[in-house]
Amino acid sequence: MAGGGRTINVLNVAEKPSVAKAVAAILSRNQGLRVRDGRSRYNKIFEFDYAIRGQPCHMLMTSVTGHLMELDFEDRYRKWHSCDPADLYQAPVRKIVPEDKMDIKRTLDEEARRCQWLVLWLDCDREGENIAFEVIEVCRAVNHHLVLRRARFSALIDREIHQAVQNLVDPNQWFADAVDARQEIDLRIGASFTRFQTMLLKDRFCIDSATDDRNLVLSYGPCQFPTLGFIVERYWEIQAHEPEEFWTINFTHRSDESIATFNWMRGHLFDYTCAVIIYEMCVQEPTATVTKVRQQEKLKYPPYPLSTIELEKRASRFFRMSSEQTMKVAEDLYQSGFISYPRTETDCFSVRTDLHAMVQEQQGHPVWGSYALRLLDPGTGLWRNPSGGGHDDKAHPPIHPTKFSSGESRWSQDHHRLYELVVRHFLACVSQPAVGAETTVEIDVAGELFSASGRVILARNYLDVYRFESWGGSVIPSYAVGQQFIPTTLTLDSGVTRPPPLLSEADLLSCMDKAGIGTDATMHDHIKKLLDRFYATKDANTRFSPTNLGEALVMGYDDMGYELWKPNLRSTMEYDMKEVSIGNKSKAEVLANCLQQMKACFLDARVNKVKLLEAMAIFFERSNADEHHAAGEIVRQCGNCLESNMVLRKNRDGNFMVGCMAFPQCRNAVWLPGSVSEAIVTSNICNSCNPGPVYLIQFKFRRHEIPPGFDVNHLGCIGGCDETLRQLIEICGTGSRNPAGGRGATTTSNNVRQSDTRQRACIYCQQTGHSSGDCPSQFSGSRNAHSHGTNLQSGESSIPCTSCGTPCVLRTANTANNRGRKFYSCQSQECNFFLWEDDINNGTRGRSIPRGSASNPGRRGGRGRGGQTGGRGADTTFVSATGDPLSGRRCYVCGDPSHFANACPNRGT
């Protein structure tokens, strides 16, 4: 970029309109600055003349508004029911300019055509670099000869901006590739799991949510879900905690100077008898002998320079500001030129940074100006070059003040507080540590050791300006080794162990930072999404609790045995993306490895979807849609309409079918045997049937409804190749043909042979007109699965189990809703048959329910997960469907197995 020659046109593009305006004002010095409208009324174009290293330039400064492009699937994959969610791991994706950004694109097109250079003023982080390459793609499409240059700056102040434009560099393709990889990974994983969760659960349960049920989306994000996992895991720790009583000996001594409190060096004992014996020994020989006196100087060091995470944590701790609000206010202060760029991982200043000049800016402040003067006075010895925390993102310095302000009239209280925090933090980190004198005294009482400590602050130093921290201490009397005295008080006190507190926002940010979840620029977004999705709530003390929905989702994946809610997977992804950003790994390599791993997790989760259903059933009532309109899972593409998929579902009568998702426009359906009690779509694909893929279904048949020789469990295919399935349809017939979602004529699949049950003889009574599953003899003859009998050993009324044949004894329920009602349930641990006695006359065959589920589902015991009741009152009893208490669960307050401790009537007494 040597100077001289004719004037060239330079297109400058900033990330936001406010930044474009600020940079244009600084470079032009507000002389000869002209403003005109672009295609977008929000993104003005500023024109002025300038010289870059002696080269005369006519500068055109405009802006985008964040990302110019969006990554999405091609049109045929964008609709939720257009494909199997597993296909989204390979589906084609594309980056396009969305409709609401087209005016910005048109402005760039028009201006780029008449320019020779393109200078990019995007934020100097990975995300900004990615936006820069989006601008490059748009501008290069209309002008291939553009010279590309990048301006790197950290603050909107004259010195930084002029230095940036005179030292332009090349854009960083590695940074942009790292963001592209993250975007594609998040899109594919998020879309597949979100569609899976939402289609599986939304219509099956009455979900309490801040969102209208019709628009409810159960989203999954690779960063969002591990963040939720931290909240749920801490909540489970609290719920699992059982208080234990302990005992400790407390010793105090008052002198003319002050009073000292000595702590028992054993801490405490859980054995009351041992504690009493030791206490009695001390009472009998109460004379205390000083065994050690240690005096030493202690230093309390100032904080490291301010990074984004520390800014968010401290604003939350000191002001109870949310991380989202903190970043919004910090962005405003940055764009106004008062602080440096607020998104940085760096917590150490470069040796080239003029720290004294930054302090000089603050000399005139009415509150901390006097402290700044003391810092700059060499005679005070208050100045100290700041130490660093060892993190440097090589892009931006730590957050620091860039311009003096005694308070702008337009600022909110949050603006004033955050600016004050940044300034005071900066002044503190260039100050000497606080100095204190600490005395520790150890004494011996009847062989038991006690200690007390006191502190006197000798020099406050940085604490004078950093009012957010204190260094408390107490003054204790003077003691000498060998000195003896009698205690003023000597008591045996009891206490109770307490669980850890709920995670605060500062705690949660620390967990995310330590595990590598998200980046400094995105962590607050992940937290906000949890609140927006109603997966978690935050109280007035900024502490997080999971909602029923958030806990149920984490519980479901945890029960599968997969740690999708743990940070491990995302931490690996973030590490790989960092490797891309420094050129150690390629974007393609990281994408291939990560997506292969996550697709395997997705397929496993889908096979084990029953765990999610069971977890949701603990917290939420099942909806009518679950009984009559279950959404189903994709089995294959529809062979009739060729535009939608065939899914496994139940019809209105509870019978399984595979029907087209485009019903009622397309009525293609495959009717499955009426003897099917369970059916689950697996990830296995049939090797014979075309067009594929055709996913195999794991069937479970009712033993008494299929002939001998057929297995109760069968992995079958509805594509036409399954001879076993065809025979069972011929022998047993199909279920009722009232399709889910509507009534009317249906079309059967050409791949499976269908038979009219009215033309087929029942295998039990040999009569036509009904299937074996509807045979009247099953309710009156010797094969009646629900006929009353008597247990020969006990004399109790019983019926044979429809699944395993074991006699089911008549019992009486004691739940609140069904007290005194009679029912039959199977005694086998492997079988879940259940039937109300009064349903037999109505022709009900009984049903299988999960072992240990509650007829009044409330909390779940075990692993400390009993924290919420799904909207039920505190009087909910925790019993199984049989009315028996849940095994191994009890109230730890009174020992009663009918409730947990938070509902105990004796709690607090």
Q: Which active-site residues does the annotation give?
A: 341
Give the single-character DSSP code of 886: P
Q: Contact 897/891 with Cβ under 8 angstroms?
A: yes
Residues 6+ apart with CB under 8 A from 34: 46, 47, 48
Q: Distance (Å, rounded) from C-alpha 662 to C-alpha 429?
A: 65
Q: Distance (Å, rounded) from C-alpha 861 to C-alpha 854?
A: 11
Q: How far is CA 575 from the centre of its chain?
A: 19
For strands 668-671 and 747-748, give the pairing: parallel
Q: Which two tokens stand for residue 617?
A: 């059933």
Q: Distance (Å, rounded) from C-alpha 150 to C-alpha 122?
A: 8
Q: How far is CA 855 from the centre of its chain?
A: 30
Q: Distance (Å, rounded) from C-alpha 625 to C-alpha 445?
A: 72
Rounded to 10 degrees, the C-alpha dihedral 559/564/565/571 comes to 150
Q: Which two tokens stand for residue 734?
A: 């199909």
Q: Distance (Å, rounded) from C-alpha 880 to C-alpha 887?
A: 9
CA-wise closest residue to 492 among 254, 245, 242, 287: 245
Q: Which residue has the tokens 């006990």?
A: 794
Kindly list the distances between the CA atom of residue 363 and the CA atoms of 339, 460, 869, in Å, as whole numbers in the listed order.
16, 20, 58
Residue type, 87: D
For strands 288-300 and 536-538, give the pairing: unpaired
The three-state (H, E, C) secondary structure of 758-817, written as one string: HHCCCCCCCCCCCCHHHCHHHHCCCCCCCCCEECCCCCCEEEECCCCCCEEEEEECCCCC
Q: Distance (Å, rounded) from C-alpha 154 to C-alpha 341?
A: 5
Q: Which two tokens stand for residue 898?
A: 């009918």
Q: Contact 445/226 with Cβ under 8 angstroms?
A: no
CA-wise closest residue to 773 among 699, 706, 824, 835: 706
Residue ranges of alpha helices (H) inside 463-567 are: 505-515, 523-532, 548-560
Q: Which two tokens stand for residue 415?
A: 């603006």
CA 509, 512, 517 angle in degrees (round to 5)? 135
Residues 6+ apart with CB under 8 A from 535: 224, 228, 546, 547, 549, 550, 553
Q: Which two tokens stand for residue 283?
A: 């009472």
Please report how many Cα atoms fall inside a 13 Å half-sphere around the Cα of residue 738, on the Cβ side: 7
CA 637, 639, 643 angle in degrees (round to 5)? 60
Q: How far apart are the first and last CA of the chain?
A: 81
Residue type, 172: N
Residues 6+ apart with CB under 8 A from 764: 772, 775, 777, 778, 781, 783
Q: 245 forms bridges with which residues in the sheet? A: 496
Q: Contact 384/329 with Cβ under 8 angstroms?
A: no
Q: Contact 544/490 with Cβ under 8 angstroms?
A: no
CA-wise closest residue to 883 among 903, 854, 909: 854
Kindly list the distances between the CA atom of residue 489 and the CA atoms of 166, 262, 481, in Å, as whole numbers in the listed order.
74, 10, 21
